[in-house]
Chain A
Amino acid sequence: MGKIERNPTGTLSRRGFLEGSAGLSFALSIPGALFAPRVALADDATPGAIGAWVTISPDGAIVLAIPVAEMGQGSLTGLAMVFAEEMDADWSRVSTTYPPVKPEIFGNPIFGGMMVTYGSGSIRGYWDKVRLQAAAVRNVLMQAAADRWQVPLGELHTGPSLVVHAASNRSMSYGEIAGFAQVPATMPTIDKSALKKMADYRILGKNTPRLDIPGKINGSAQYAIDVQVPNMVYATVLRTPVEGGTPEHVDDAAALKVPGVLKVVPLKNSVGVVAETIEAAFKGREALKVSWSSLPTDSFNSADGMKDFLARAAKLDDKGVSYVAKGDADEAFAKAAKVMTAQYSSEYVYHAQMEPMNVTASVSPAGDSAEIWIGTQGVSPNVFAAAAMLKTTPDKIKLNQFYLGGGYGRRSPADMMPEVLPLAKAMQRPVKLIWTREQDVKSAQMRPMTGHQVEAALDADGKVTGWRHRVVGESVVAYRGTDKALEGAKGIDGILLEGSKHEYAIPNQSIAYLREKRGIAVAAWRGIGAGYNKFVVESFIDEIAAAQNKDPVAFRLELLKDEPRAQAVIKAVVDKSGWGKAVADGHALGFSYAKVVETYVAAVGEVSLDPKTGIVRAHRFWIALDPGIVLNPDSVLAQTEGNVIFGLSQTLKEQVSISGGQIEQNNFYDYPVLRMSEMPEIDIQVMPTDNPAKGMGEASLPLVAPCVGNALFKLAGKRFRALPLSPERVKAVTGV
């Protein structure tokens, strides 16, 4: 503690306000300090602590320990709202802090109890756990009031931060009760049936300003890259140009001559440059000359790889690993009156999170404990990795969580630990390690390149009797974990295959995974597998409809007869968009539907194409979605807007190419992402239903590409089956 110093305009140093008389809750309510390291709030000895998750001050200020990384998705506020709702707290008095790393208390049940933030899993993962915790807190407060007043618990109810005994017209504030309440050693167990119903919600379902936003409009929000630790030095790394390479010969003479450079440290897959300033570290990196070990991946080119992937997708006798086997697909195809076949593909894409990868760490002189300052989706993985590297136990690793300048899956792994810990150990000073943007691109962990073959069996009446989808690509599960992890999942890569399942009533289906091993770093990316798999599914469904001269919406509704939530969002988006009516000259509408992270989404996109340049423009998108219970409606809109823009960016522009095992791109000048002048108008209809709240951070993204592709078919009369739909590729298809 006491190591964080705020910038001069923040005026308060952390040490300053902790020494002051304002008290803990005040300190934590300073905007921008939401993720600042905290004092042991969860300690039962902390005055006002009601269990591990809540501290209530006498003045009624409530601090909730919320174990999610906030990277713009809004789940910090969302989960706090869930907690406050069930606890019946006065929302205006609620602030949050990141809890200490105690996965046994704060872990996410759907991710093996780890403290992680990914897979659009915060709300759906913590939904029951947080509500039950909050209900237990409320119960303790009510019991304390009942004891004080000598009345039965059943005669009490709660209002915003208030316990009320209506019969005697008495009430007591949560703040007052917290001052005397005896908190049981074990918090009471609450039955799920006692939880609040949607109709009784006071906080959830209403537009609620996000708690992190005030600090994000004046520069005070603290990201890990902003941390200032006394006596720290700066570092950057030159990493292996080919994944897995190790430095064989390091010529550091020129780097060490750069004024301010202190040390050059060869690491496992990189070479670290430590300096008194970040500018000196970056200059020193430029001056390094390193030769790297050779690897099989050195010969990999993504263009050739794609040809191989697609060739393999076509070899039906190469069965791969079965993901979905419904009915008898082989028989359906053998008996089919007609078979349709198409090949689709998607390239490697880069997260392009705006905050380059960075971390700060300090290692004890004995080398057996460390303090880490980081913005991470993977709190538990980083703590475990650090403990393993230092041959110590996780409790000896203190991790301070910050806001994340974009995550989208990139900030899940613990890949910075093997760099920062040896550097901090070697320097015996805290080290702030920042990758250059170029390094961030060159060491991208990408959404895997994929090749697909998809087939439909049709009977004489045109009914779809069989579906076959073969997905070829490198395994994310094996890269992120190990081959064993993939074997543990029976060879089924749930990240890569996400979205290949669909709800269409086709009696015989086969979906298979054909694994490739090329040694490329692949990762979860916003929308994970659905980003390309829904492009395949929704484009091909459109192809089948078009081949039968059927309206693509009517065709889908026919196949979704038993899916009322799907029907509802499809009908809503059709009404809103004016589907089927005339559009501007040279424009066309494309449609797609999908269930992503258990959220139902339907989309229509209005698109035009300049045949001469091959430039595709999306003018407008209409989205209708049903995510179950909606916690913060405006946040759902914000996420959906972001999904459309991120999704359009990957649809039209994004591609990492690999030559000689090395990523060819460098920075935003050769890896362009969507800019404001390219954004479409976005019209969103949120359709809440009384179903458990599901993921919003990536649900609509996968719908964008098929909308664009299906609209292009109407404009050009040809199918566009390879992402991204960049001008060169579009022209290659149109032949203009």
Chain B
Amino acid sequence: MALLEAEGLEAQYGGTKVLHGIRFAVEEGGITTILGANGAGKTTTLRAVCGMVKTSGEIRFDGRRIRGRPTEDIVRLGIAHVPEGRGTFMQLTVEENLRLGAYGRTAKGPLGRDFQRVYEHFPVLGERRRQIAGSLSGGEQQMLAVARALMLRPRLLLLDEPSLGLGPLVVREIFRIVRAINREERVGVLLVEQNATMALDLADHAYLLETGRVVMSGPSAELRQDDAIRRSYLGY
């Protein structure tokens, strides 16, 4: 059984339908990526999983139906969403941002080990833990967003364009950490990304979204070989 499964998933903003019945899955401990151009519905797909848009169809997490539940309840099941734009609490300190990340955790208890873990992954956040998050650079804020999601001890991590607006070194660092978390802690990952090369390298499974429909899917290695994908998304 897959960790996350969507079937016939539709989503709309106001009266405009953005997703037209898509189907995808993230395996337990797997990494799935959703590729597509601007406006294909990638961000909407992640928002649909978290109950942040109006949806119909079916979404199952761990076999349980979660569609239609409030966002905060879905998060409490162990789904951490690193949103588009990072969702940083700008006026709070780095440490307070991280504490908030653990707020929806079902296993309560001291956060010492969790802090230690994210500071190991992101030493720069440890150095700046008393700083106001708004004073961090873009790359540091992206790290903070991922770190905040980890504080939930999630079973599934939703990543929305983690590379957006960042330099290649920072991007590679963030991808490396996501891979490490996935391998060491078997956290499932659903990654939405415009940088198809990096996304396909990281993911084991990929879906290609065009104007709200899945037009191709399969193991990443297969999609990487596909001529159409190569021409349109990989650029060679």
| A interacts with B | no
